[in-house]
Amino acid sequence: MKLLIKVLLKRLSRAARPYLQSSGLLQVSGVYNHSAMVWQPGREKVLVLAPHMDDETIGCGGTLALHAQRGAQITVMFLTDGRNGSSDANVLYGEERERKQQELIELRTTEARAALQRLGANRMICLDAEDGALSQCPWAAEKLRDVLVKLQPDIVYLPFYLEEHPDHRAASRVLLDAAAGTQLQFQCMGYEVWTPLFPNCLVRIDSTVELKKQALQEYRSQLEQCDYVHASIGLNAHRSAGLMQARGAQGGYAEAFYATPLAQYREQFATFCAQR
């Protein structure tokens, strides 16, 4: 596994550099063995894949707000419906459990819509696979393919495939299956939720971190179980270490990504799966 990680780090740094250089906003950071680069989001056509309602804000909320401020068209697709996201529903049975699950789906959808409004996203799509069973959803890739072909995104944000949650990891498989056999070409931006990744791309979010906090606070039903705001913003503060050698950088907040073109992401994901 250590050898695999070293290979992936070398590949992801090489793969991301042409894209970041083409933006004219490339700076090389002195942290992470000079493999993490500072990037400024712009007016790209953006699609975000979020396995659960809040993953998008935790993983890339500050970056999405920057995209929105610069006129980007942002579509967020929630892959699962959130029905199993509460311990209250899990102890019920039959019709009572179904009723509670439906209430939870509606609540989480309302919260997600409010969070995306805070961030400035243009469109919200709910794929509605069962929460916790994305890898067992046979039609997910087909529905996503329709969205990809219609949107023709420049960038797709999704949980990095080293995420330990099964739905988070399944998102990569769904995306790659959806794009298979098409002429689509876009940049994959793997974000981190609960499993820290080895970043090759950092986005400074000092100017949008308050918007990110506000968006996270819209997920009230989630915050009853865990202080996601504290955990998420703490990780962003830690990621600012990668900015400290940038000119004029002092403290602040950053979101970290694995940035690589679709073809390389597919190759690396296959290599990773073969080693498991």
DSSP string, 146-206: HHHHHH--SEEEEE-TT-SSHHHHHHHHHHHHHHTTS----EEEEE-SSS----SEEEE-T
The yes-or-no verdict on residue 270 having pLDDT over 60 is yes
Nearest partner of 230 among 247, 243, 212, 246, judged by Cα: 212
Give residues with Cβ within 8 angstroms of 97, minimum separation 6.
89
**Cα gap 263→176, rounded to integer Å:** 9
- Is pLDDT at 239 greater than 60 in this prediction? yes
Q: Which of 62-66, 233-237, 250-254 has the lowest mean pLDDT?
A: 250-254
Q: Give the mean model confidence (pLDDT) for residues 220-248.
A: 84
The sign of the CA dihedral 49, 52, 53, 57 is negative
Check residue 51 and report its DSSP letter: S
How confident is the model over 107-131, as pLDDT tens digits?
999 999 999 999 999 999 999 999 9
Higher pLDDT, 19 or 162: 162
- CATH fourth-level superfamily of 2-275: LmbE-like (3.40.50.10320)
6, pLDDT greater than 70: no
pLDDT digits (tens, 9 = 90+) for 15-70: 555 444 444 334 434 444 445 789 999 999 999 999 999 999 999 999 999 999 99
* Helix, strand or coil, per DSSP, at residue 53: coil
Angstrom CA distances, 199 to 29, 31, 146, 192, stand at 11, 10, 30, 9
